[in-house]
């Protein structure tokens, strides 16, 4: 890397160059070499373990009268040569080789995750090292989706899990209570286009690196208008027989559901009627509403239309069953 620079310094006396030019060139080439070495680097270190930061003088540097010092990001001087002037219980300067001044942070804490500079007394920077603390993934809540996302059917939804971590974590997505892996999706975003109502579910993003893992759950609710379907649209029954009418209702959100009799009155469970409700599951709102007219309670006066009604956030809808009482 330094071949061209070193060649510029190896000027022989037999080339006829004057001694003072040799000195000027030597100093110039040394500064070039050192400035190249001063490019900032980032060093990943582990919490509660030692972290060693490199610094060295080049062999060509006239270091007989040079003192090397370490500084932190707050411009506090930490050392002179191999002697610590601050944090002497937490750090030390070591000499792994000739002209090296390695700063050893004995037990890295979050306090010492900083940028450090090693420089000479004349201000030449020999190295600049930023200590990056390796840590388990952490969710950045302010940049991620909330715990509950509500979206309209057929729109586009983007679920986000923004994690920080070092090393950079791998992120995968899972769906439902069984935590089924969503194949082919990796990274901080899960995008669903033309989102169907069946996408309502719990989604979990999991971030993993060498230090551990972290996960976040997002409940997705897809809203849509109520829909009602009846099991049978026409039912024939004889007097004194029991009869059952049923309907399936889909809506998100679902406010209320009920049956209306042939006289336009809302039906409740009593001596004549029995109304039963059954939910399919939490993530996909399907409700089965069953109306039973008890045995020996039907007469010809009960014939007519029975209506299954559903009410949602933005309106309601219904379907009817024609009850025919045979005589």
Question: pLDDT tens, 42-98?
Answer: 999 998 899 999 998 876 665 557 789 999 999 999 999 999 999 999 999 999 988
| pTM tops 0.85 | no
Domains 38-132 and 231-325 belong to one CATH topology: yes
Residues 296-310: what's their mean pLDDT? 93
User: Is pLDDT above 90 for 117?
Assistant: yes
Residue % of the chain over a pLDDT of 90: 70
Residues 124-137: what's their mean pLDDT? 92
Alpha helix locations (H) across the chain?
A: 3-9, 19-37
CA distance 139 to 204: 12
CATH architecture of 231-325: Sandwich (2.60)
List Cα–Cα distances, 298 to 146, 236, 240, 293, 322, in angstroms. Answer: 53, 12, 5, 7, 14
Q: DSSP strand E in 187-242: where?
A: 189-192, 201-209, 212-230, 234-237
pLDDT at 11: 38
Q: What residue segments make up the domains of the chain, in order of their start?
A: 38-132, 140-224, 231-325
CATH number, span 38-132: 2.60.40.10
Residues 264-268: what's their mean pLDDT? 94
pLDDT at 63: 52
> Can you name the CATH fold of 140-224?
Immunoglobulin-like (2.60.40)
16-30, 76-90, 197-211: which range is least confident on average? 16-30
Query: By the 8 A CB rule, do 219 and 148 touch?
Result: yes
List Cα–Cα distances, 144 to 124, 135, 151, 152, 159, in angstroms. Answer: 44, 19, 16, 20, 8
Q: Is the sign of the CA dihedral 133, 136, 137, 142 positive or negative?
A: negative
Q: Which two tokens stand for residue 296?
A: 């020996």
Query: By the 8 A CB rule, do 11 and 22 touch?
Result: yes
């Amino acid at each position: 890397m330094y071949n061209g620079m070193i060649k510029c310094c190896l000027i022989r006396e037999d080339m006829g160059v004057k001694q003072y030019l040799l000195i000027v060139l030597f100093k110039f080439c040394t500064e070039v070499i050192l400035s190249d070495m001063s490019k900032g680097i980032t060093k990943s270190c582990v919490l509660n373990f030692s972290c060693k930061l490199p610094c060295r003088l080049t062999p060509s540097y006239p270091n007989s009268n040079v003192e090397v010092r370490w500084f932190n990001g707050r411009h506090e001087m930490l050392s002179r040569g191999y002697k610590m002037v601050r944090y002497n219980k937490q750090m030390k300067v070591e000499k792994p080789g000739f002209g090296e001044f390695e700063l050893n942070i004995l037990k890295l804490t979050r306090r010492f995750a900083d940028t450090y500079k090693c420089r000479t007394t004349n201000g030449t920077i020999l190295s600049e090292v930023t200590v990056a603390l390796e840590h388990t993934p952490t969710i950045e809540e302010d940049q991620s989706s909330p715990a509950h996302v509500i979206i309209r059917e057929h729109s586009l939804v983007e679920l986000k899990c923004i994690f920080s971590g070092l090393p950079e974590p791998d992120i995968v997505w899972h769906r439902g209570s069984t935590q089924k892996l969503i194949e082919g999706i990796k990274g901080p975003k899960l995008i669903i286009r033309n989102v169907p109502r069946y996408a309502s579910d719990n989604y979990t993003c999991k971030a993993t690196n060498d230090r551990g893992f972290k996960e976040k759950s997002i409940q997705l609710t897809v809203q849509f208008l109520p829909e009602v379907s009846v099991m049978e649209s026409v039912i024939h029954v004889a007097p004194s027989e029991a009869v059952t009418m049923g309907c399936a209702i889909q809506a998100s959100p679902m406010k209320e559901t009920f049956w209306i009799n042939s006289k336009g009155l809302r039906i409740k469970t009593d001596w004549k009627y029995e109304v039963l409700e059954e939910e399919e599951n939490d993530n996909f709102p399907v409700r089965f509403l069953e109306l039973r007219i008890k045995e020996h309670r039907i007469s010809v006066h009960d014939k007519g239309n029975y209506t299954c009604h559903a009410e949602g956030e933005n309106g309601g809808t219904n379907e009817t069953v024609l009850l025919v009482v045979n005589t």
